[in-house]
């Protein structure tokens, strides 16, 4: 298989390890289809965990599964021995282990150079064991005062080892997400809740996700040679004028996103075909099946976002939801409104989860600025009554999001501090200055609050 794999990898411009990963990743779709035929809840738990472990072994080697044992064992022991503090212990321990692996494997450099390792799967597993432990800790709290997400996902009973094993290594989300909750996994596996009765056919939505994946991969393979990251360190880039450099930054970010769209579309197909992606029926007439649990990205929603505030709702959706439930909302003190510090704290956790590269940290700090600047423009937009002016402000918010997002994401791609600052400096830090100016102007030109309707006496 060696020469054949090398020839196949060369034909699509990837390394042999990446090709092996892609083949195993694509295999999650038929694996999901076969899951539907496995009898009994215990059989399905074992099938989910064993197939996930087998695909990890084929993709990353035997050591990958040994890597996953540490956070899985920590999370389960914390739930077993210290329920009240299990969430905090697992959060700190699992994140600490992930950071150590990021430092040891330097996975960002491997991905950047066309390599692959198991830390991507470990990132997903980290979120899953943390949410499971936190929800088990929430299970002993009184419902009064809990947020809706806590009430919905809290676990009153400790999952069995087989249930936990299947949840952690389940093939559908093991490689690249989407992250889902233990309670949903148990209901799906045991055919309870919305899965108690027959579910709609997953064929058409699965085919749609596969077609989308093919289009995304095709666009990425077409665009990536035309807009290589290496150009940012070449003298030619710095010979261009401001607008040419800014355009290249946009195209670089635009090109890179199609790789993620491809990955998440394959994951979506695997989750849908297994049935786990089903989330119920719409309120429309006639009702339509919804597959929201499998959705990790809305391609048009990202590329045509009218506001930076919308981006967490359409990009890496399930991780954004996890961050909201388990970081952002838990940083808000009772009786107080969330502000910039909660957003910055959440983005910092997201940056550390991705890796300790300066480019990641700079990108997520930038994204906090970007979102808050967009909120200012939106408040102005809502405050004006003139339809023309409102349309102008809406367009400015769209242009602002386009500019700052693609400027900021260069750091996410090049990773190093020097290259990130050099790319930002090449366009005079426009994507940093504009959000700061918006925030400053927002403190000077505050839109009038709309009067609240008085209660009838």
Instruction: Give the pLDDT confidence score for residue 455 in this predicted structure.
Output: 39
Least confident of 97-106, 297-306, 445-454: 445-454
Instruction: Give the pLDDT confidence score for residue 457 in this predicted structure.
Output: 32
The contacts found for 79-88 with CB under 8 angstroms, 24 or more apart, are: 79/132, 79/133, 79/136, 79/158, 80/158, 83/136, 83/137, 83/139, 83/140, 84/137, 84/140, 85/137, 86/133, 86/134, 86/136, 86/137, 87/130, 87/133, 87/134, 87/135, 87/136, 87/137, 87/138, 88/137
The pLDDT confidence band at residue 449, using thresholds 50, 70 and 90, is: low
Least confident of 103-112, 130-139, 351-360, 370-379: 103-112
Instruction: Give the pLDDT confidence score for residue 327 in this predicted structure.
Output: 96
How much of the chain exceeds pLDDT 90, in percent?
Answer: 83
Residue 106 has pLDDT above 90, yes or no: no
Residue 456 has pLDDT above 70, yes or no: no
Q: Taking the CB of residue 356, how many other CB atoms lie within 10 A of it?
A: 13
Backbone phi, psi, residue 447, to 5°: -65, 145
Q: What is the pLDDT of residues 49-72, one digit of tens each?
A: 999 999 999 999 988 999 999 999
Q: What is the pLDDT of residues 391-404, one digit of tens each?
A: 999 999 999 999 99
Instruction: Give CA–CA dist 435/401, Å, rounded.
Output: 10
For 220-238, what is the mean pLDDT?
Answer: 94
Region of 275 on the Ramachandran plot (φ > 0 left; ψ -120 to 50 alpha; else beta): left
Residue 88 has pLDDT above 90, yes or no: yes
Instruction: Give the pLDDT confidence score for residue 133 in this predicted structure.
Output: 98
Three-class DSSP category at 24: helix
Instruction: Give the pLDDT confidence score for residue 451 in this predicted structure.
Output: 55
For the chain, counts of helices (H) and of strands (E): 24, 2
| Model confidence, pTM | 0.92
Instruction: Give the pLDDT confidence score for residue 450 in this predicted structure.
Output: 59
- Give me 401's structure tokens: 């999001």
The pLDDT confidence band at residue 39, using thresholds 50, 70 and 90, is: very high
Rg (Cα) of the chain, in Å, rounded? 23
Integer angstrom CA distances of residue 143 from 137, 152, 156: 13, 10, 12
For 13-29, what is the mean pLDDT?
Answer: 90
Residue 267 has pLDDT above 90, yes or no: yes
Give the residue numbers annotated as catalytic, written as ranges.
354
For 193-216, what is the mean pLDDT?
Answer: 95
Instruction: Determine which helix (DSSP H) or strand (DSSP E) holds 281, and give its type and residue range.
Output: strand 280-281
For 59-88, what is the mean pLDDT?
Answer: 96
Instruction: Give the pLDDT confidence score for residue 113 in this predicted structure.
Output: 66
Q: Looking at residue 82, what DSSP letter applies?
A: -
Instruction: Give CA–CA dist 23/16, Å, rounded.
Output: 11
């Amino acid at each position: 298989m060696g020469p054949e794999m090398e020839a196949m990898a060369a034909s699509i411009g990837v390394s042999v390890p990446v090709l092996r990963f892609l083949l195993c990743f694509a295999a999650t779709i038929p694996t999901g289809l076969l899951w539907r035929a496995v009898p009994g809840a215990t059989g399905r738990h074992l099938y989910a965990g064993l197939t996930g472990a087998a695909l990890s072994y084929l993709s990353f080697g035997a050591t990958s599964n040994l890597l996953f044992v540490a956070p899985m064992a920590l999370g389960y022991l914390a739930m077993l021995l210290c329920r009240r503090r299990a969430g905090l212990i697992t959060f700190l321990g699992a994140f600490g282990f992930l950071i150590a692996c990021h430092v040891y494997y330097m996975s960002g450099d491997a991905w950047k150079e066309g390599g692959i390792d198991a830390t991507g799967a470990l990132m997903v597993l980290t979120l899953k064991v943390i949410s499971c432990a936190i929800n088990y800790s929430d299970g002993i709290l009184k419902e009064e005062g809990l947020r809706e997400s806590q009430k919905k996902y809290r676990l009153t009973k400790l999952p069995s080892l087989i249930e936990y094993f299947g949840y952690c290594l389940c093939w559908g989300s093991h490689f690249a997400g989407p992250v889902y909750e233990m309670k949903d996994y148990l209901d799906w596996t045991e055919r309870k809740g919305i899965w108690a009765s027959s579910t709609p056919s997953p064929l058409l939505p699965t085919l749609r996700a596969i077609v989308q994946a093919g289009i995304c991969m095709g666009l990425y393979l077409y665009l990536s040679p035309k807009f290589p990251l290496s150009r940012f360190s070449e003298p030619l880039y710095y010979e261009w004028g401001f607008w040419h450099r800014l355009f290249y930054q946009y195209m670089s970010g635009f090109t890179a996103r199609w790789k993620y769209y491809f990955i998440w579309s394959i994951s979506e197909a695997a989750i849908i075909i297994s049935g786990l992606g089903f989330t119920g029926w719409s309120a429309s007439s006639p009702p339509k099946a919804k597959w929201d649990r499998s959705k990790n990205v809305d391609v048009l929603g990202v590329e045509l976002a009218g506001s930076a505030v919308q981006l967490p709702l359409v990009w890496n959706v399930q991780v954004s939801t996890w961050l909201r439930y388990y970081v952002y909302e838990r940083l808000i003190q009772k009786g107080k409104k969330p502000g910039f510090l909660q957003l910055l704290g959440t983005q910092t956790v997201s940056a550390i989860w991705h890796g300790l590269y300066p480019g990641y940290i700079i990108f997520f700090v930038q994204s906090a600025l970007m979102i808050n600047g967009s909120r200012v423009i939106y408040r102005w937009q809502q405050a004006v009554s003139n339809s023309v002016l409102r349309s102008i402000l809406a367009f400015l918010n769209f242009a602002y999001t386009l500019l700052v997002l693609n400027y900021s994401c260069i750091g996410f791609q090049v990773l190093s501090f020097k290259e990130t600052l050099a790319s930002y400096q090449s366009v005079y830090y426009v994507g940093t200055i504009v959000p700061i100016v918006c925030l400053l102007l927002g403190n000077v030109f505050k839109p009038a609050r709309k009067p609240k309707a008085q209660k009838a006496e």
